[in-house]
Amino acid sequence: MAFQRRSLVLASMLIASLALGERARAAEPQVPVLWDAKERLPKPDLSALPRLRFLTTTDFPPFNFLDGAGKLSGFHIDLARAICAELGIVDKCQIQALPWAELEEALEKGEGEAIIAGIAATPQSRQTYAFSRPYLQFPARFIMPKGETLTEPLFAKLRGKRVGVISGSAHERMLRDYFNTVQVVTFDRPEDLYANLKAGKIDAAFGDGMRFAFWLGGSDAAGCCRFAGGPYLAPEYLGSGMAIAARSDDPALAAALDYALQEISLKGTFAEFYLRYFPVSFF
Protein backbone atom coordinates (compact mmCIF):
# COMPACT_ATOMS: atom_id res chain seq x y z
CA MET A 1 0.00 0.00 0.00
CA ALA A 2 2.83 2.40 0.84
CA PHE A 3 4.44 1.72 -2.55
CA GLN A 4 1.13 2.30 -4.34
CA ARG A 5 0.60 5.54 -2.44
CA ARG A 6 4.07 6.81 -3.28
CA SER A 7 3.54 5.85 -6.92
CA LEU A 8 0.28 7.77 -7.09
CA VAL A 9 1.81 10.81 -5.43
CA LEU A 10 4.80 10.69 -7.77
CA ALA A 11 2.48 10.41 -10.77
CA SER A 12 0.48 13.45 -9.71
CA MET A 13 3.67 15.33 -8.92
CA LEU A 14 5.11 14.59 -12.35
CA ILE A 15 1.85 15.52 -14.08
CA ALA A 16 1.95 18.90 -12.36
CA SER A 17 5.58 19.24 -13.31
CA LEU A 18 5.00 18.41 -16.97
CA ALA A 19 2.00 20.73 -17.23
CA LEU A 20 3.93 23.59 -15.74
CA GLY A 21 6.90 22.69 -17.90
CA GLU A 22 4.77 23.18 -21.00
CA ARG A 23 3.81 26.60 -19.73
CA ALA A 24 7.44 27.41 -19.00
CA ARG A 25 8.36 26.71 -22.60
CA ALA A 26 5.59 29.01 -23.78
CA ALA A 27 6.61 32.08 -21.79
CA GLU A 28 8.87 33.29 -19.00
CA PRO A 29 8.63 33.97 -16.17
CA GLN A 30 5.84 31.75 -14.88
CA VAL A 31 3.25 32.75 -12.29
CA PRO A 32 1.62 30.05 -10.13
CA VAL A 33 -2.13 29.68 -10.68
CA LEU A 34 -3.84 27.91 -7.78
CA TRP A 35 -7.44 28.84 -8.57
CA ASP A 36 -9.85 27.18 -10.97
CA ALA A 37 -11.34 29.85 -13.23
CA LYS A 38 -14.44 27.67 -13.71
CA GLU A 39 -15.21 27.66 -9.98
CA ARG A 40 -17.19 30.72 -8.97
CA LEU A 41 -17.12 31.46 -5.26
CA PRO A 42 -20.04 33.43 -3.81
CA LYS A 43 -19.39 37.11 -3.12
CA PRO A 44 -19.68 37.70 0.62
CA ASP A 45 -21.75 40.42 2.27
CA LEU A 46 -19.45 42.12 4.77
CA SER A 47 -21.63 45.15 5.43
CA ALA A 48 -21.97 44.15 9.09
CA LEU A 49 -18.23 43.69 9.55
CA PRO A 50 -16.99 46.58 11.73
CA ARG A 51 -13.36 46.25 10.58
CA LEU A 52 -10.80 43.84 9.18
CA ARG A 53 -7.42 44.03 10.87
CA PHE A 54 -4.60 41.99 9.35
CA LEU A 55 -1.80 41.01 11.72
CA THR A 56 1.66 40.42 10.30
CA THR A 57 5.36 40.84 11.10
CA THR A 58 8.18 43.08 9.89
CA ASP A 59 10.99 40.55 9.54
CA PHE A 60 10.05 38.15 6.74
CA PRO A 61 11.22 39.74 3.48
CA PRO A 62 10.02 39.87 0.76
CA PHE A 63 6.68 39.07 2.37
CA ASN A 64 6.73 41.59 5.24
CA PHE A 65 9.47 44.16 5.93
CA LEU A 66 10.16 47.81 6.67
CA ASP A 67 11.42 49.70 3.63
CA GLY A 68 14.10 52.37 3.61
CA ALA A 69 11.61 54.94 4.88
CA GLY A 70 10.45 52.67 7.72
CA LYS A 71 7.16 51.93 5.96
CA LEU A 72 5.60 48.47 6.25
CA SER A 73 5.94 46.85 2.83
CA GLY A 74 6.04 43.51 1.07
CA PHE A 75 4.09 40.89 -0.81
CA HIS A 76 1.72 40.26 2.11
CA ILE A 77 1.07 43.96 2.61
CA ASP A 78 0.11 44.48 -1.02
CA LEU A 79 -1.99 41.31 -0.94
CA ALA A 80 -3.89 42.38 2.20
CA ARG A 81 -4.68 45.77 0.66
CA ALA A 82 -5.86 44.14 -2.56
CA ILE A 83 -8.12 41.81 -0.55
CA CYS A 84 -9.72 44.78 1.18
CA ALA A 85 -10.24 46.52 -2.16
CA GLU A 86 -11.79 43.41 -3.69
CA LEU A 87 -14.16 43.04 -0.73
CA GLY A 88 -15.10 46.73 -0.93
CA ILE A 89 -14.03 47.45 2.66
CA VAL A 90 -10.90 49.58 2.21
CA ASP A 91 -12.15 52.07 4.81
CA LYS A 92 -12.50 49.23 7.34
CA CYS A 93 -9.09 47.68 6.78
CA GLN A 94 -5.97 47.96 8.89
CA ILE A 95 -2.60 46.21 8.85
CA GLN A 96 -0.64 45.90 12.09
CA ALA A 97 2.85 44.46 12.53
CA LEU A 98 3.77 42.52 15.68
CA PRO A 99 6.56 40.16 16.73
CA TRP A 100 5.86 36.64 15.47
CA ALA A 101 5.47 35.27 19.02
CA GLU A 102 2.61 37.70 19.73
CA LEU A 103 0.45 37.02 16.67
CA GLU A 104 -1.60 34.12 18.04
CA GLU A 105 -2.37 35.83 21.34
CA ALA A 106 -3.34 39.06 19.58
CA LEU A 107 -5.81 37.19 17.38
CA GLU A 108 -7.26 35.34 20.39
CA LYS A 109 -7.72 38.62 22.28
CA GLY A 110 -9.62 40.13 19.36
CA GLU A 111 -6.88 42.60 18.50
CA GLY A 112 -7.11 41.49 14.88
CA GLU A 113 -9.30 39.39 12.61
CA ALA A 114 -6.73 37.61 10.43
CA ILE A 115 -3.03 36.72 10.38
CA ILE A 116 -1.18 37.07 7.09
CA ALA A 117 2.32 35.98 8.03
CA GLY A 118 2.95 32.49 6.69
CA ILE A 119 1.37 30.35 9.41
CA ALA A 120 1.41 26.79 8.11
CA ALA A 121 -1.98 25.07 7.72
CA THR A 122 -1.43 21.73 9.47
CA PRO A 123 -3.84 19.33 11.22
CA GLN A 124 -2.67 20.87 14.51
CA SER A 125 -2.99 24.53 13.48
CA ARG A 126 -6.43 23.88 11.96
CA GLN A 127 -7.65 23.24 15.50
CA THR A 128 -6.80 26.86 16.30
CA TYR A 129 -7.48 28.68 13.04
CA ALA A 130 -9.90 28.79 10.14
CA PHE A 131 -7.69 29.06 7.08
CA SER A 132 -8.26 30.47 3.65
CA ARG A 133 -7.26 28.30 0.75
CA PRO A 134 -3.54 28.44 -0.09
CA TYR A 135 -2.53 31.44 -2.18
CA LEU A 136 1.11 30.43 -2.69
CA GLN A 137 2.91 27.09 -2.67
CA PHE A 138 6.60 26.32 -2.55
CA PRO A 139 7.71 23.67 -5.03
CA ALA A 140 10.91 21.68 -4.97
CA ARG A 141 13.24 22.37 -7.89
CA PHE A 142 16.47 21.17 -9.42
CA ILE A 143 19.13 23.70 -10.37
CA MET A 144 22.02 22.85 -12.67
CA PRO A 145 24.86 24.64 -14.46
CA LYS A 146 23.63 26.61 -17.46
CA GLY A 147 25.48 24.31 -19.84
CA GLU A 148 23.09 21.50 -18.91
CA THR A 149 19.81 21.46 -20.82
CA LEU A 150 17.92 18.63 -19.14
CA THR A 151 14.14 18.79 -19.52
CA GLU A 152 11.29 16.66 -18.21
CA PRO A 153 11.06 13.80 -17.67
CA LEU A 154 14.22 13.96 -15.58
CA PHE A 155 14.12 10.64 -13.74
CA ALA A 156 16.12 8.61 -16.26
CA LYS A 157 18.35 11.51 -17.26
CA LEU A 158 19.51 11.98 -13.67
CA ARG A 159 20.55 8.36 -13.21
CA GLY A 160 23.97 8.24 -11.55
CA LYS A 161 24.22 12.04 -11.29
CA ARG A 162 25.62 13.60 -8.11
CA VAL A 163 22.79 15.70 -6.66
CA GLY A 164 23.30 17.93 -3.66
CA VAL A 165 20.65 18.56 -1.03
CA ILE A 166 20.48 19.93 2.52
CA SER A 167 20.99 17.15 5.05
CA GLY A 168 17.95 16.11 7.07
CA SER A 169 15.55 18.27 5.09
CA ALA A 170 12.18 17.34 3.61
CA HIS A 171 13.85 17.82 0.24
CA GLU A 172 16.40 15.11 1.07
CA ARG A 173 13.61 12.67 1.93
CA MET A 174 11.76 13.60 -1.23
CA LEU A 175 14.89 13.22 -3.39
CA ARG A 176 15.68 9.79 -1.96
CA ASP A 177 12.08 8.58 -2.36
CA TYR A 178 11.37 9.80 -5.88
CA PHE A 179 14.76 10.07 -7.57
CA ASN A 180 16.40 7.00 -6.12
CA THR A 181 18.80 6.49 -9.03
CA VAL A 182 20.86 9.59 -8.23
CA GLN A 183 23.91 9.81 -5.99
CA VAL A 184 22.71 11.90 -3.06
CA VAL A 185 25.33 14.30 -1.67
CA THR A 186 24.25 16.03 1.54
CA PHE A 187 25.35 19.41 2.88
CA ASP A 188 24.74 21.07 6.23
CA ARG A 189 24.73 24.62 4.86
CA PRO A 190 23.20 26.15 1.71
CA GLU A 191 26.44 28.06 1.13
CA ASP A 192 28.34 24.80 0.77
CA LEU A 193 25.69 23.37 -1.53
CA TYR A 194 25.90 26.38 -3.84
CA ALA A 195 29.71 26.46 -3.78
CA ASN A 196 29.95 22.81 -4.80
CA LEU A 197 27.45 23.33 -7.61
CA LYS A 198 29.38 26.32 -8.95
CA ALA A 199 32.66 24.38 -8.71
CA GLY A 200 31.24 21.45 -10.67
CA LYS A 201 31.69 19.02 -7.77
CA ILE A 202 28.01 18.05 -8.02
CA ASP A 203 25.85 17.84 -11.15
CA ALA A 204 22.73 19.42 -9.66
CA ALA A 205 21.15 20.68 -6.47
CA PHE A 206 17.65 19.88 -5.23
CA GLY A 207 15.74 22.02 -2.78
CA ASP A 208 13.31 24.84 -2.13
CA GLY A 209 12.44 26.64 -5.34
CA MET A 210 11.96 30.04 -3.74
CA ARG A 211 15.35 30.00 -2.00
CA PHE A 212 16.97 28.78 -5.21
CA ALA A 213 15.30 31.61 -7.13
CA PHE A 214 16.75 34.24 -4.80
CA TRP A 215 20.20 32.68 -5.13
CA LEU A 216 19.99 32.45 -8.92
CA GLY A 217 19.04 36.11 -9.12
CA GLY A 218 21.80 37.23 -6.75
CA SER A 219 25.41 38.17 -7.25
CA ASP A 220 26.78 35.03 -5.59
CA ALA A 221 25.44 32.78 -8.35
CA ALA A 222 27.08 35.04 -10.94
CA GLY A 223 24.78 33.66 -13.64
CA CYS A 224 26.22 30.17 -13.31
CA CYS A 225 23.08 28.12 -13.07
CA ARG A 226 19.44 27.69 -13.99
CA PHE A 227 16.34 25.74 -13.05
CA ALA A 228 15.96 22.33 -14.67
CA GLY A 229 12.73 20.33 -14.75
CA GLY A 230 9.93 20.73 -12.27
CA PRO A 231 8.40 22.39 -10.40
CA TYR A 232 7.46 19.55 -8.05
CA LEU A 233 4.47 20.09 -5.77
CA ALA A 234 4.40 17.52 -2.97
CA PRO A 235 2.26 18.64 0.02
CA GLU A 236 3.04 15.47 1.98
CA TYR A 237 6.68 16.58 2.07
CA LEU A 238 6.56 20.36 1.65
CA GLY A 239 3.24 21.38 3.20
CA SER A 240 0.17 22.93 1.61
CA GLY A 241 1.62 26.42 1.17
CA MET A 242 0.69 29.85 2.52
CA ALA A 243 -2.80 30.67 3.71
CA ILE A 244 -4.44 33.42 5.76
CA ALA A 245 -5.49 32.44 9.29
CA ALA A 246 -8.69 33.65 10.95
CA ARG A 247 -10.12 32.58 14.29
CA SER A 248 -11.53 29.07 14.26
CA ASP A 249 -15.00 30.42 15.10
CA ASP A 250 -14.98 32.70 12.03
CA PRO A 251 -15.16 30.41 8.98
CA ALA A 252 -17.25 33.05 7.17
CA LEU A 253 -14.26 35.38 7.12
CA ALA A 254 -12.03 32.62 5.75
CA ALA A 255 -14.61 32.05 2.99
CA ALA A 256 -14.68 35.79 2.22
CA LEU A 257 -10.89 35.76 1.94
CA ASP A 258 -11.15 32.86 -0.52
CA TYR A 259 -13.48 34.91 -2.71
CA ALA A 260 -11.12 37.88 -2.69
CA LEU A 261 -8.03 35.77 -3.35
CA GLN A 262 -9.67 34.06 -6.31
CA GLU A 263 -10.74 37.40 -7.82
CA ILE A 264 -7.26 38.81 -7.32
CA SER A 265 -5.82 35.81 -9.13
CA LEU A 266 -8.29 35.85 -12.03
CA LYS A 267 -7.86 39.59 -12.59
CA GLY A 268 -4.07 39.35 -12.79
CA THR A 269 -3.39 41.31 -9.60
CA PHE A 270 -1.72 38.35 -7.93
CA ALA A 271 0.56 37.90 -10.95
CA GLU A 272 1.59 41.55 -10.70
CA PHE A 273 2.53 41.13 -7.02
CA TYR A 274 4.32 37.82 -7.64
CA LEU A 275 6.51 39.22 -10.40
CA ARG A 276 7.24 42.35 -8.37
CA TYR A 277 8.62 40.42 -5.41
CA PHE A 278 9.85 37.26 -7.15
CA PRO A 279 11.41 38.45 -10.44
CA VAL A 280 13.11 35.06 -10.82
CA SER A 281 10.05 32.82 -10.76
CA PHE A 282 10.35 29.61 -8.77
CA PHE A 283 7.58 28.00 -10.86
Vertex 222 angle, CA 280 and 66, to 5°: 50
User: pTM, whole model, 2 decimals?
Assistant: 0.85
Q: For residue 28, what pLDDT is reported?
A: 57
Q: What is the mean pLDDT of each run of 10 residues along the chain (283 residues)?
A: 43 45 51 90 90 96 94 97 96 96 95 94 91 96 90 92 98 96 97 97 97 96 94 93 95 96 96 95 94
CA distances from 90 to 12, 35, 168 (A): 40, 24, 44
Q: Provide the residue ranges of all domains of the chain, joining segments of one domain with +.
A: 2-26+140-232, 52-136+240-277
Gap between the Cα atoms of 121 and 110, Å rounded: 21
Q: For residue 84, what pLDDT is reported?
A: 97
Q: For residue 280, what pLDDT is reported?
A: 93
Q: For residue 82, what pLDDT is reported?
A: 98
Q: For residue 23, what pLDDT is reported?
A: 44
**Quick check: do 2-26+140-232 and 52-136+240-277 share a fold?**
yes
Q: For residue 29, what pLDDT is reported?
A: 65
CATH number of the domain at 2-26+140-232, out of 3.40.640.10, 3.40.190.10, 3.10.20.600, 3.30.230.10? 3.40.190.10
The architecture of the domain spanning 52-136+240-277 is 3-Layer(aba) Sandwich (3.40)
27 by Cβ neighbours in 10 Å (0-12 / 13-18 / 19+) ranks as exposed
Q: For residue 5, what pLDDT is reported?
A: 42
